[in-house]
A and B are shown apart, each in its own frame.
Chain A
Amino acid sequence: MSSTRPSYTTIFETVRGVGKLLAPDDFSYVTEIPTNGPESQLIIHLSCMAHYTPHVPMLARKILQKIGLDCLILGGPESCCGELHKHFQDVDLEKQMAKAAMFGFRRAKPHTVLSICPDCDEQFRRHAVNRQPFKHSNISQLFVEHLDTLKKRMREVNLRVIPHFHTINEARQTDARNMLQILNAIPGLKLIEAQHALGPGLHCQTLHPMPVDDQARMFDEARDLGADAIVVPYHSCYRQHCKMQLTHGVEVHHYFNLLAMALDIPFTEPFKQMRMLGDVDSVIQALRPKIQELGYDEDVVRTQVARAIFC
């Protein structure tokens, strides 16, 4: 293993540690389903890095509940899609990871597994088996299918927003179209056209973030156009861009946030709250009671917070 590459243990321990510190008390999910465990028609797969933005899977479940659908949130490092191993070119391990995750889904006998992460989406598509007993799609697809039901429950959200999107392949183009369709359905919301809102690759990843100059251009434009917020399709984009509020005064919202506002679903944004504190020391101070409650080593958490929140 290269000395510049963090170990899987380091990465997953950061996900587990920071994930627990940021998780609201009412955030519940399972890491694996035992044989003869609970069954669920719908599963939201909780990707590893989505642990840092727990409000995203929480809102996904609450929005589904507004449609009248119940679901199980399943995931975390224990059900990782293998993208990390793919990135580090451990191809045999990657395949084993994806297969293990999909085998785990089968125990709940779902008819649909919903991704919120584009990497997981790609992985489960690549490693799907013949006669797979469940359908798999990005959650935006299900929201669009039930948009008429959602629209009946929406109230006005008076914000001017710029949609940020990724279009590198057909799946991401579909997500972008779905997000636009959902945003256009929200009364009062004004979508502003912008020239610099396209992100690189599948999403704004920690390992391949949007170039700093491009990011600045996107936020400069948003500020100049008088946008209240940039709306992003993925939790990874949200994590990458949140900090720009500090310099540009333009908020960053996951599109679930806007749906939640429209549907009167209250929510908090622990990641953004921490990132807005501006530095690791302030975050540690804010998290100290929970660090102590969980019995974590503060020095270890300090390193993890730097890696997860200030990357």
Chain B
Amino acid sequence: MTEWTAVGEEQKFGEGLHPITLGRRQVVVARLSGKLFAFDALCPHAQGPMDRSEVEGAIVSCPLHAWRFDLEQGGKELHGYRNLTVHDIKVTDGQVLVGMRE
């Protein structure tokens, strides 16, 4: 069962990428074309800072080696490399809640 953690009011997360800390994990909350996503802040390839990703639609590219992850496909890496961990996210009573995946 998903354990949800409140990370802030919805209005705090405008369009773009927002790094946050959840316990010991670094996570990025992203609002892309109005839609919220949450994903690991470090690229699975070389630990690149995903909060500095280049964004194209719902595809985020690591600023180091441009591994490209489709957030609409659960973080699938588009060249066939390792995927990015994408977390659950929802808004309840104006609060953004993130459900971490391992």
Q: Chain A interface (Cβ within 8 Å of chain B)?
A: 7-9, 11-13, 16, 32, 77-78, 80, 85, 90, 93, 96-97, 100
Contacts and interface: CB of A to CB of B under 8 A. Distances in A.
B64 A100 contact: yes
Given A9-B68, A85-B64, A96-B46, 17 more contacts: A7-B61, A8-B64, A9-B54, A9-B56, A9-B66, A12-B65, A12-B66, A77-B66, A78-B65, A78-B81, A80-B64, A90-B63, A93-B52, A93-B63, A96-B64, A97-B46, A97-B64
Contact of A9 (B45, B46, B61): B61
A97 B81 CA distance: 18
A100 B49 CA distance: 13
B94 to A, nearest CB: 32
B47, B48, B63 — which one has the most chain A CB atoms within 10 A of its CB?
A: B63
A8 B45 contact: no
Interface string B28-55: 0000000000000000011111001010
B12 interface: no
A96 B61 contact: no
18 contacts: A7-B61, A8-B54, A8-B61, A9-B54, A9-B56, A9-B66, A13-B66, A32-B45, A78-B65, A78-B67, A90-B63, A96-B46, A96-B47, A96-B48, A96-B64, A97-B46, A97-B64, A97-B65
Contacts of A7: 54, 61
Contacts of A93: 48-49, 52, 63-64
B56, B66, B68, B81 — which one has the most chain A CB atoms within 10 A of its CB?
A: B66
Interface string B49-87: 100101010000101111110000000000101000000
Contacts of A85: 64
> Main secondary structure on chain B at its contact with chain A?
loop
Contacts of A8: 54, 61, 63-64, 66
Nearest to B60: A9
> Main secondary structure on chain A at its contact with chain B?
helix
Q: Which 8 A-B pairs have the closest CB atoms?
A: A12-B66, A100-B46, A9-B61, A9-B66, A9-B54, A7-B54, A77-B65, A8-B66
B6 to A, nearest CB: 31
Contacts of B61: 7-9
Contacts of B45: 32, 78
Contacts of B79: 16
B69 to A, nearest CB: 11
A7 B59 CA distance: 14
A131 to B, nearest CB: 22
Nearest to B45: A78
A79 B45 CA distance: 10
Nearest to B52: A93
A99 to B, nearest CB: 9
A156 to B, nearest CB: 44
B17 to A, nearest CB: 13
Nearest to A100: B46
Contacts of B68: 9
Nearest to A99: B46
Nearest to A32: B45
A128 B21 CA distance: 32
A97 B45 CA distance: 11
B7 to A, nearest CB: 26
Contacts of A9: 54, 56, 61, 66, 68
